[in-house]
Structure 1
């Protein structure tokens, strides 16, 4: 289960990084260039988007890296990453897989009681 948590956390973290690049870039673009009609309006809380864009992928990848040796902190980090993505971006077509993979990786890491057999 720890290997599955590691894999899911890495994939979820990379997907969260892609979502984060676009989220951060969008808020920066609108703040520098202003609103573009109805298409490019600023989000309600741009700093939440920016912080989650930075922290969520780091938490997921760090949790994945720790999944084999320290499963409890790893699970907490991956679940925090999934929660951060959900709070900042909501649940949609581009966030459902990072949320699901980070969340499932966190649950698997927390559920792992002993090291995986080799």
Structure 2
């Protein structure tokens, strides 16, 4: 049984399974890039690849509510890749605010869409 089953079978917190995995991966990726500065590009690319694979699995399992939901999740993965490649040194913990912003936008959007789906 997959964590990303058909969306019609989701109940309660199962609708958020991948979102929590993505948030955890995001925080671990940036914490690892900050703590092991010389290897930040390799670590960021590794986490980006891992999360990309999970994104593909989630997409195949119909986890996303619509294309915008998928786009918002992909933006998080893309951020990890871009930060790993374009910023050579991660020497602060500002990514926590960025993670909070991503989480707020995705949570708000998904929550709104789920309310619309349950009402209609």
TM-score with structure 2 setting the length: 0.35
Q: Which has the higher contact order (CA 8 A, sep 6+)?
A: 1
Hey, which of these two has a bigger chunk of helix by percent?
2
Task: Please report the TM-score for the alignment, with normalisation by the length of structure 1.
Answer: 0.35
